[in-house]
Amino acid sequence: MRCFVLAASFGTITDAAIELHISQASASRAISSLERALGQRVLRRGRHGCEPTAFGEALLPQARRLLAQVDTVNTLAEREHDRLRLGYAWSALGKHTTSVLREWRAQYPNTELHFSQHSTPTSGLAEGRCDVAIMRIPPDAARFSSAVIGLERRFAVFSADDPQWAKRRTLRMREFAGRTVAAEPRSGTTKRELWDGGPAPDTFIAVTDTEDWLNTLSAGEAVGVTAEATSVHHARSGIRFIPITDAPRIAVRLVWWRDEAPNGIEALVELATRLYARN
Q: Which of 46, 150, 33 is nearest to 100 (CA)?
A: 150
Do 229 and 261 belong together in one domain?
A: no
Confidence band, pLDDT 50/70/90 cuts, at residue 68: confident
Compute CA distances 71 → 31, 62, 78, 106, 208, whole Å. 19, 14, 10, 30, 41
**β-strands 224-227, 144-152: how paired?**
unpaired
Check whether residue 96 and residue 212 sit in a common domain: no
pLDDT band at 93 (very low <50, low <70, confident <90, very high): very high
What's the residue count for the chain? 279
pLDDT at 82 over 90: no
Q: Would the pLDDT of 101 be above 70?
A: yes
**Stretch (H or E) spanning 164:** none
Say whether pLDDT at 44 is over 70: yes
Mean pLDDT is lowest, of 91-105, 132-146, 195-209, 243-257, for 195-209
Element (H, E) at 244: none
- Separation of alpha carbons 261 and 57, rounded Å: 45
pLDDT of residue 188: 87
Domain of residue 115 covers 83-151+251-277
In this structure, the answer to whether residues 69 and 116 fall within a common structural domain is: no
Cα(26)–Cα(13) distance, rounded to whole angstroms? 10
| Whole-number pLDDT of residue 174 | 96
Residue 96 to residue 233: CA distance in whole angstroms: 11
Q: Which of 231, 278, 227, 233 is nearest to 253 (CA)?
A: 227
The CATH number linked to 52 is 1.10.10.10
Shared domain for 147 and 255, answered yes or no, is yes
How far is it, in rounded angstroms, from Cα 12 to Cα 4?
10
| pLDDT surpassing 70 at residue 78 | no
- Rounded to 5°, angle at Cα 206 from 200 and 207: 130
- As a whole number of angstroms, the distance between CA 183 and CA 156 comes to 12
Confidence of residue 81 (pLDDT cuts 50, 70, 90): low
Overall domain count for the chain: 3
One domain for residues 146 and 259: yes
The mean of the pLDDT values for the chain is 92
Do residue 131 and residue 210 come from a single domain?
no
| 101 lies in the same domain as 57 | no
CB atoms within 10 A of CB 15: 16
What angle (nearest 5°) sits at the alpha carbon of residue 218, between those of residues 212 and 222? 80
CATH assignment of the domain containing 143: 3.40.190.10
Q: Which of 46, 81, 116 is the last residue of a domain?
A: 81
Residues 138 and 264 in one domain: yes
| Sequence-ordered list of residues with C-beta below 8 angstroms from that of 81, at least 6 positions apart, any chain | 263
